Amino acid sequence: MRHVEHAALDRASRRVVGVRPVWGGQGGVTDSEVKDLWRLAGKYSAVGIELAVAIALGYFGGEWIDGKIGTAPYLKWIGLACGIVAGFKGLYDAVRTTDLDKL
């Protein structure tokens, strides 16, 4: 795959519209730019997984503790709320630490 659709790459690397980038070489995308794009993709795909895991752990952890001490369903809902807060805090941190000038 030598050529990349220019629209997707233009949005990602802020290149001039109408130029058809080529991987490497003159006027194309350098290997470091490609690595940076993959690094960002990995970072943000991990954020989605982190959000889902935090919510699930909060919910099921609260449900498990409810079963142990007999307070159902209160700790399940408290755990769910804590999981949602923790998940969105991770999302907020990822967005906050992103340097938009480097995109």
Q: What is the pLDDT of residue 26?
A: 52
Residues 6+ away with beta carbon under 8 Å from 21: 3, 4, 6, 9, 15, 27, 28, 29
Q: What is the pLDDT of residue 35?
A: 87
Q: What is the pLDDT of residue 11?
A: 53
Domain boundaries, the chain: 31-102
Phi/psi for 31 (5° steps) reads: -60, -35
DSSP state of 99: -
Q: What is the pLDDT of residue 95?
A: 85
Reply yes or no on whether the pLDDT at 16 is more than 70. Answer: no
Q: Please write the tens of the pLDDT for every residue from 31-84.
A: 888 888 888 888 888 898 999 999 999 999 999 999 999 998 999 999 999 999
